Amino acid sequence: MNEPFEVATGVQTEVRNFLVVLRLSDGTMGYGECAPSTPKRLGDLAPVRRGLESAARRLTGFSGLEFPKFARRAAELCEGMGAARAALEMAYLDAWTRSLGMPLWVFFGGAGAKVVTDITVPIVRSPQARVAARRIWDRGVRTIKIKVGVELESDEARVRAVIDAAPKARLIIDANQGYRPAEALLLLTKLRRAGIVPVLYEQPVVKSDLDGLEEVERKGRVPVAADESAAGVSDIWRIARRRACSVINLKLMKCGIWEAWESARAARAAGLRLMIGGMIESRLAMGCGAHFASGVGGFEFIDLDTPLWFSRDPMTGPPEIGRGGVYDLTKVHSGIGCRPR
């Protein structure tokens, strides 16, 4: 990566993802990306690789019209490995829509062809945060996401530094499970005293603490998003029944594409608002996320900026992040649009 990407759960300096290549009988190639969540050691990836290779040997013989069947089989073969499911489904859909000459956003429903992402300021010192925020603002991006969740004083200083550099920016703060409810609420109080009110507070408490999530939503008077707490449809219904938060952050890598699609429908039915995010992914998986969000429609918060953190882009072609954080998918003629260099 071009610089360390630090969040409350750790720091990442290298990207260790898998590429899945799928070939149709007519020779059309499709590509999928598997981005496991922040592996600590290279050995942590071994089970994912074995799962992908085993599933790939068994996922043959499907036609283009059998995506739900393909997705269910991939889920069976990659149980507990959402990122592997996502990569296999991504390669399938990329190949099929390429063969049809159809952009992937059309397959997902065609609600739109553009989304606008935020850009993230990770856990850095205040002077670095100020420089990063100015760079983001000068790029034309108007929503800045700030990582917090480590230590209240430094977290508050980081948010203040971002506002100093970009006083008109919309702010999302993301604690990645780093706080207890009282700490999460104290940060909001401190920021409100300084005249700073985020538009969204993402995963302020540990994923299992739905009571804490609800407490921050109710007392903090800021919309709260569930990320780690919402890994699939069953989690979303659990959150909805308890009214634990008002926004769900969907990530293809958490549960695969088919279940993310089902999750979007479940969240809408429950009256929950939608966000899309990702792990540390190249423009292949991030682009797929942009196709998904724009095609399905109704996503209020877009967090698809990680290709900007790559020191060497392994993909070529659209979709890419343009001026203002815009993913313009009208430039994609078929499939996701990009391919390995």
Q: How many CB atoms lie within 10 A of CB 111?
A: 14
Radius of gyration of the chain (CA): 19
pLDDT digits (tens, 9 = 90+) for 188-210: 999 999 999 999 999 999 999 99
pLDDT digits (tens, 9 = 90+) for 297-337: 999 999 999 999 999 989 999 999 999 999 999 999 999 99
What CATH number is associated with residue 75?
3.30.390.10
Q: Is residue 247 part of a domain?
A: no
Q: Is residue 88 part of a domain?
A: yes
pLDDT, residue 41, reads 56
pLDDT, residue 119, reads 98
Residue pair 329/294 in contact (Cβ under 8 Å)? The answer is yes
**Residue 118 predicted with pLDDT over 60:** yes
pLDDT, residue 42, reads 56
**Residue 187 predicted with pLDDT over 60:** yes
pTM, entire model: 0.96
State the residue range of the domain holding 36: 5-102
**Residue 211 predicted with pLDDT over 80:** yes
Report the distance separating Cα 211 and Cα 213, nearest Å.
5
Number of domains in the chain: 1
- Strand 273-276 relative to strand 299-302: parallel, antiparallel, unpaired? parallel
* pLDDT > 70: percent of the chain: 98
Segment 95-104 mean pLDDT: 98
pLDDT, residue 67, reads 96
Look up residue 204 and give its amino acid: P
Q: Is residue 96 part of a domain?
A: yes
The verdict on whether omega for the bond into residue 103 sits within 30 degrees of 0, i.e. cis, is: no
Q: Is residue 66 part of a domain?
A: yes
Q: Is residue 72 part of a domain?
A: yes
pLDDT, residue 38, reads 59
**Closest C-alpha among 325, 240, 324, 332 to residue 292:** 332
Q: Is residue 73 part of a domain?
A: yes
